[in-house]
Protein backbone atom coordinates (compact mmCIF):
# COMPACT_ATOMS: atom_id res chain seq x y z
CA UNK A 1 0.00 0.00 0.00
CA UNK A 2 1.34 3.46 -0.82
CA UNK A 3 2.49 5.59 2.09
CA UNK A 4 -0.12 8.08 3.27
CA UNK A 5 0.95 11.57 4.27
CA UNK A 6 -0.94 13.06 7.17
CA UNK A 7 -0.59 16.45 8.82
CA UNK A 8 -1.44 16.79 12.49
CA UNK A 9 -1.53 19.94 14.64
CA UNK A 10 -0.84 19.76 18.37
CA UNK A 11 -2.63 22.60 20.15
CA UNK A 12 -3.35 23.79 23.68
CA UNK A 13 -2.56 26.33 26.38
CA UNK A 14 1.04 27.29 27.20
CA UNK A 15 3.26 24.78 28.95
CA UNK A 16 0.85 21.84 28.89
CA UNK A 17 3.45 19.63 27.22
CA UNK A 18 2.75 19.95 23.48
CA UNK A 19 6.45 19.99 22.59
CA UNK A 20 7.27 17.29 25.13
CA UNK A 21 4.64 14.94 23.70
CA UNK A 22 5.83 15.61 20.14
CA UNK A 23 9.50 15.13 21.04
CA UNK A 24 8.76 12.00 23.07
CA UNK A 25 6.88 10.49 20.13
CA UNK A 26 9.35 11.50 17.43
CA UNK A 27 12.67 11.23 19.26
CA UNK A 28 11.86 9.03 22.25
CA UNK A 29 13.21 11.45 24.84
CA UNK A 30 11.94 13.87 27.49
CA UNK A 31 13.45 17.30 27.99
CA UNK A 32 12.82 18.84 31.40
CA UNK A 33 13.70 22.42 30.51
CA UNK A 34 10.96 24.74 29.33
CA UNK A 35 11.40 26.60 26.08
CA UNK A 36 8.22 28.20 24.72
CA UNK A 37 7.48 27.17 21.15
CA UNK A 38 6.75 29.50 18.26
CA UNK A 39 6.20 26.68 15.81
CA UNK A 40 8.01 23.45 15.13
CA UNK A 41 7.39 20.78 12.56
CA UNK A 42 8.47 17.18 13.04
CA UNK A 43 8.30 14.32 10.56
CA UNK A 44 7.92 10.71 11.55
CA UNK A 45 7.12 7.51 9.73
CA UNK A 46 4.84 5.08 11.46
CA UNK A 47 2.98 1.94 10.53
CA UNK A 48 -0.47 0.86 11.64
CA UNK A 49 -1.40 -2.65 10.63
CA UNK A 50 0.06 -2.78 7.14
CA UNK A 51 -0.38 0.90 6.34
CA UNK A 52 2.68 3.12 6.29
CA UNK A 53 2.18 6.79 7.22
CA UNK A 54 4.42 9.80 6.94
CA UNK A 55 3.30 12.10 9.72
CA UNK A 56 3.96 15.79 9.75
CA UNK A 57 3.48 16.99 13.31
CA UNK A 58 3.03 20.70 13.79
CA UNK A 59 3.86 21.68 17.36
CA UNK A 60 2.09 25.03 17.69
CA UNK A 61 2.63 28.04 19.95
CA UNK A 62 0.62 27.99 23.19
CA UNK A 63 -2.81 29.61 22.89
CA UNK A 64 -4.80 31.44 25.53
CA UNK A 65 -8.39 32.65 25.80
CA UNK A 66 -7.56 35.77 23.78
CA UNK A 67 -5.78 34.05 20.91
CA UNK A 68 -7.27 34.06 17.47
CA UNK A 69 -7.21 30.58 15.97
CA UNK A 70 -4.25 30.68 13.55
CA UNK A 71 -5.82 30.31 10.12
CA UNK A 72 -2.89 28.28 8.74
CA UNK A 73 -3.97 25.39 11.01
CA UNK A 74 -7.43 25.25 9.49
CA UNK A 75 -6.28 24.14 6.05
CA UNK A 76 -4.67 20.87 5.01
CA UNK A 77 -4.48 19.62 8.58
CA UNK A 78 -6.01 16.14 8.76
CA UNK A 79 -6.42 15.92 12.52
CA UNK A 80 -5.79 17.67 15.82
CA UNK A 81 -4.33 16.78 19.19
CA UNK A 82 -5.85 19.12 21.78
CA UNK A 83 -3.79 19.06 24.97
CA UNK A 84 -4.43 20.26 28.51
CA UNK A 85 -2.50 19.54 31.68
CA UNK A 86 -4.33 17.61 34.40
CA UNK A 87 -2.67 20.05 36.85
CA UNK A 88 -4.19 23.16 35.29
CA UNK A 89 -7.86 24.18 35.34
CA UNK A 90 -6.99 27.09 33.09
CA UNK A 91 -5.58 24.79 30.42
CA UNK A 92 -8.81 22.73 30.52
CA UNK A 93 -10.87 25.89 29.95
CA UNK A 94 -8.59 27.02 27.13
CA UNK A 95 -8.80 23.66 25.34
CA UNK A 96 -12.61 24.07 25.20
CA UNK A 97 -12.22 27.51 23.62
CA UNK A 98 -9.73 26.19 21.07
CA UNK A 99 -12.21 23.45 20.15
CA UNK A 100 -15.00 25.98 19.59
CA UNK A 101 -12.77 28.19 17.48
CA UNK A 102 -11.62 25.16 15.48
CA UNK A 103 -15.19 24.18 14.56
CA UNK A 104 -15.95 27.77 13.79
CA UNK A 105 -13.04 28.31 11.45
CA UNK A 106 -13.27 24.95 9.67
CA UNK A 107 -17.07 25.18 9.44
CA UNK A 108 -17.29 21.50 10.30
CA UNK A 109 -19.34 19.76 12.96
CA UNK A 110 -16.83 16.99 13.39
CA UNK A 111 -13.08 17.04 13.00
CA UNK A 112 -10.79 14.10 13.76
CA UNK A 113 -9.28 14.84 17.13
CA UNK A 114 -7.87 13.38 20.29
CA UNK A 115 -8.28 15.15 23.64
CA UNK A 116 -5.21 14.65 25.81
CA UNK A 117 -4.84 15.22 29.56
CA UNK A 118 -1.05 15.33 30.01
CA UNK A 119 1.27 15.20 33.06
CA UNK A 120 -0.40 12.25 34.81
CA UNK A 121 2.86 11.65 36.70
CA UNK A 122 2.05 14.79 38.72
CA UNK A 123 -0.88 13.08 40.46
CA UNK A 124 -0.45 15.07 43.68
CA UNK A 125 -1.15 18.23 41.70
CA UNK A 126 -4.13 16.90 39.76
CA UNK A 127 -6.92 19.48 39.27
CA UNK A 128 -8.93 17.84 36.48
CA UNK A 129 -10.32 14.37 37.08
CA UNK A 130 -10.22 11.61 34.50
CA UNK A 131 -14.03 11.71 34.49
CA UNK A 132 -14.11 15.41 33.52
CA UNK A 133 -11.78 14.78 30.61
CA UNK A 134 -13.73 11.73 29.50
CA UNK A 135 -17.02 13.61 29.64
CA UNK A 136 -15.68 16.47 27.52
CA UNK A 137 -14.36 14.07 24.90
CA UNK A 138 -17.72 12.29 24.81
CA UNK A 139 -19.43 15.62 24.14
CA UNK A 140 -17.07 16.11 21.25
CA UNK A 141 -17.30 12.47 20.08
CA UNK A 142 -13.53 12.47 20.28
CA UNK A 143 -10.98 10.02 21.63
CA UNK A 144 -9.73 10.75 25.16
CA UNK A 145 -6.35 9.82 26.57
CA UNK A 146 -4.39 10.70 29.67
CA UNK A 147 -0.65 10.73 29.16
CA UNK A 148 2.68 11.50 30.67
CA UNK A 149 5.28 12.81 28.25
CA UNK A 150 7.79 12.49 31.08
CA UNK A 151 7.15 8.79 31.67
CA UNK A 152 6.33 8.05 28.03
CA UNK A 153 2.93 6.82 29.09
CA UNK A 154 0.37 6.44 26.26
CA UNK A 155 2.20 8.98 24.08
CA UNK A 156 2.29 6.94 20.86
CA UNK A 157 -1.35 5.95 21.47
CA UNK A 158 -2.30 9.59 20.79
CA UNK A 159 -0.97 9.57 17.27
CA UNK A 160 -2.13 6.07 16.43
CA UNK A 161 -5.64 6.84 17.71
CA UNK A 162 -5.70 10.06 15.70
CA UNK A 163 -4.65 8.31 12.49
CA UNK A 164 -7.49 5.90 13.13
CA UNK A 165 -9.93 8.81 13.57
CA UNK A 166 -8.69 10.34 10.33
CA UNK A 167 -9.29 7.05 8.51
CA UNK A 168 -12.79 6.90 9.97
CA UNK A 169 -13.53 10.44 8.82
CA UNK A 170 -12.33 9.44 5.35
CA UNK A 171 -14.80 6.56 5.45
CA UNK A 172 -12.07 3.92 5.36
CA UNK A 173 -13.00 2.29 8.66
CA UNK A 174 -16.52 1.71 9.90
CA UNK A 175 -17.33 3.15 13.35
CA UNK A 176 -17.74 -0.31 14.77
CA UNK A 177 -14.57 -1.86 13.47
CA UNK A 178 -12.05 -2.53 16.15
CA UNK A 179 -8.89 -1.47 14.38
CA UNK A 180 -6.00 -2.78 16.41
CA UNK A 181 -3.33 -0.26 17.19
CA UNK A 182 0.21 -1.51 17.11
N1 LIG B 1 6.04 16.27 35.12
C2 LIG B 1 5.80 16.45 33.82
N3 LIG B 1 6.25 17.58 33.23
C4 LIG B 1 5.98 17.73 31.91
C5 LIG B 1 5.26 16.78 31.15
N6 LIG B 1 5.16 17.24 29.88
C7 LIG B 1 5.80 18.42 29.85
N8 LIG B 1 6.30 18.73 31.06
C9 LIG B 1 7.07 19.92 31.45
O10 LIG B 1 6.22 21.05 31.30
C11 LIG B 1 6.98 22.17 30.78
C12 LIG B 1 6.35 22.66 29.48
O13 LIG B 1 6.49 21.64 28.51
P14 LIG B 1 6.47 21.95 26.95
O15 LIG B 1 6.48 20.63 26.25
O16 LIG B 1 7.50 22.94 26.58
O17 LIG B 1 5.02 22.63 26.85
P18 LIG B 1 4.36 23.34 25.58
O19 LIG B 1 2.90 23.07 25.69
O20 LIG B 1 5.01 22.91 24.31
O21 LIG B 1 4.65 24.87 25.88
P22 LIG B 1 4.52 26.17 24.89
O23 LIG B 1 5.52 25.97 23.81
O24 LIG B 1 4.80 27.34 25.74
O25 LIG B 1 3.13 26.21 24.39
C26 LIG B 1 8.42 21.68 30.61
O27 LIG B 1 9.16 22.04 31.76
C28 LIG B 1 8.27 20.16 30.53
O29 LIG B 1 9.41 19.50 30.99
C30 LIG B 1 4.81 15.59 31.81
O31 LIG B 1 4.18 14.70 31.26
N32 LIG B 1 5.10 15.50 33.16
pLDDT in tens, 27-86: 999 988 888 889 999 999 999 888 999 999 999 999 999 999 999 999 999 999 999 999
Is 175 among the domain residues?
Answer: no
Is 46 among the domain residues?
Answer: yes
pLDDT (tens digit per residue) in 113-134: 999 999 999 999 999 999 999 9
Residue nearest atom 12 in ligand 1 by C-alpha distance: 15
177 — pLDDT class (breaks 50, 70, 90): very low
**pLDDT at 174 exceeding the cut of 80:** no
The verdict on ipTM greater than 0.90 is: yes
**Residue 64 in contact with ligand 1 by CB distance below 6 A:** no
Helices (H), 107-154: 130-140
- Ligand 1 centroid to residue 148 C-alpha, Å: 10
Q: What pLDDT does residue 66 have?
A: 95
Is 180 among the domain residues?
Answer: no
Residue nearest atom 6 in ligand 1 by C-alpha distance: 17
Q: Report the predicted TM-score, pTM, of the whole model to 2 decimal places.
A: 0.94
Find the largest Cα–Cα distance for the chain: 46
Is 43 among the domain residues?
Answer: yes
Phi then psi for residue 99, to 5 deg, are: -60, -45
**Residue 91 in contact with ligand 1 by CB distance below 6 A:** no
Is 174 among the domain residues?
Answer: no
Is 181 among the domain residues?
Answer: no
**Residue 124 in contact with ligand 1 by CB distance below 6 A:** no
CATH number at residue 118: 3.40.50.300
**pLDDT at 97 exceeding the cut of 80:** yes
**Residue 122 in contact with ligand 1 by CB distance below 6 A:** yes
Q: How many domains does the chain have?
A: 1
Cα–Cα distance, 117 to 134 (Å, whole number): 10
Is 163 among the domain residues?
Answer: yes
Amino acid sequence: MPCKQRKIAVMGYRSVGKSSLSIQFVEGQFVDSYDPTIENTFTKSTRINSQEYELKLVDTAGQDEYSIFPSQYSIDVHGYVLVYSITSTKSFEVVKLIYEKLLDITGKVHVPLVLVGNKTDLHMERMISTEEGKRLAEDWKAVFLETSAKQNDAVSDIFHALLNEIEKADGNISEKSNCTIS
